[in-house]
Amino acid sequence: MEDLPDHASWNQWFDRYGPRLLLCARQWTRSLADAEDVVQEAFVRFWKHQRGLGGEPLALLLTSVRRAAFDRARGESRRTAREEQVAGDELEGGAFFEPLLEGNDRRAEIETALRCLPFEQREVLVLKIWGELTFEEIARQLDIPANTAASRYRYALASLRKELTAPVP
């Protein structure tokens, strides 16, 4: 991933990473409002305390976003595991993606298929495709073996392909 220069403003960073952070946050929260709250908390923390650490900023930001989502769930006294909650609930809120040039039918089809994936598979798929993390980074993030992350990713793609019709050329 191409790093932004050190003197870049937070707006430039947020323009680049904000949409992807929000999409990932929505996998770990129950509503769009919750997702925006955790993105805000993580981004402010990153900008104030972690920006100078170097390395991959998106990986650090995603760690912070996931942690903030967990803290939020714990703060709301939800006793069951977060994955089970999110998996059991219908994800609330608006569209995941911007409209496509070729029409919104295809976008809606992909979103519906994505939302129907098991939580563990959807989480890995989103981190890989839009979070641009490697399997090793996903494994560290989720505390699972890298092979498990790769397997979940393949299962997710297989399920999506099964659900989606071929795009119109």
Partner 1 sequence: MNDDFSNLEAELKRMRPCAPSSELQTRLAAALDRPAAPTAQPVSTYRSAFSWRSWKWTLWPAAVAAAVVLALVITRRPDPVPPITDQTTHPVSGTAAEPLTTTTPVADLYKPVSAENVLYDSRDEGLVTLDDGTAAHRVFQCYLDTYTWRNPRTDASLSWTVPRDEVRIVPVRAY
Comparing C-alpha atoms, which of 64, 48, 63, 160 is closest to residue 111? 160
Comparing C-alpha atoms, which of 34, 145, 18, 154 is closest to residue 86? 34
Q: Is 107 a residue that touches partner 1 (CB under 8 A)?
A: yes
Please identify, among the stretches 10-18, 84-92, 116-124, the one whose residues bind partner 1 according to the rule CB under 8 A.
10-18
Q: Is 122 within 8 Å of 55 (Cβ atoms)?
A: no
Q: Is 4 a residue that touches partner 1 (CB under 8 A)?
A: no
Q: Is 115 a residue that touches partner 1 (CB under 8 A)?
A: no
Q: How many CB atoms lie within 10 A of CB 104?
A: 12
With b for 16 or more beta-carbon neighbours within 10 A and e for fewer, the 44-56 pattern comes to ebbeeebbeeeee
Q: Which is nearer to partner 1, 61 or 86 (CB)?
A: 61
d(CA 131, CA 133): 5
| Shortest distance in whole angstroms from residue 88 CB to partner 1 | 23
In the stretch 29-58, what mask flags binding to partner 1 with x, by CB under 8 A? -------xx-xxx-xxx-xxxx--xxx---
The footprint of partner 1 (CB under 8 A) covers 10-11, 14, 18-20, 22-23, 36-37, 39-41, 43-45, 47-50, 53-55, 59-60, 63-64, 67-68, 71, 74-75, 94-98, 100, 107, 110, 125, 129-130, 140, 153-154, 157-158, 160-161, 164, 167
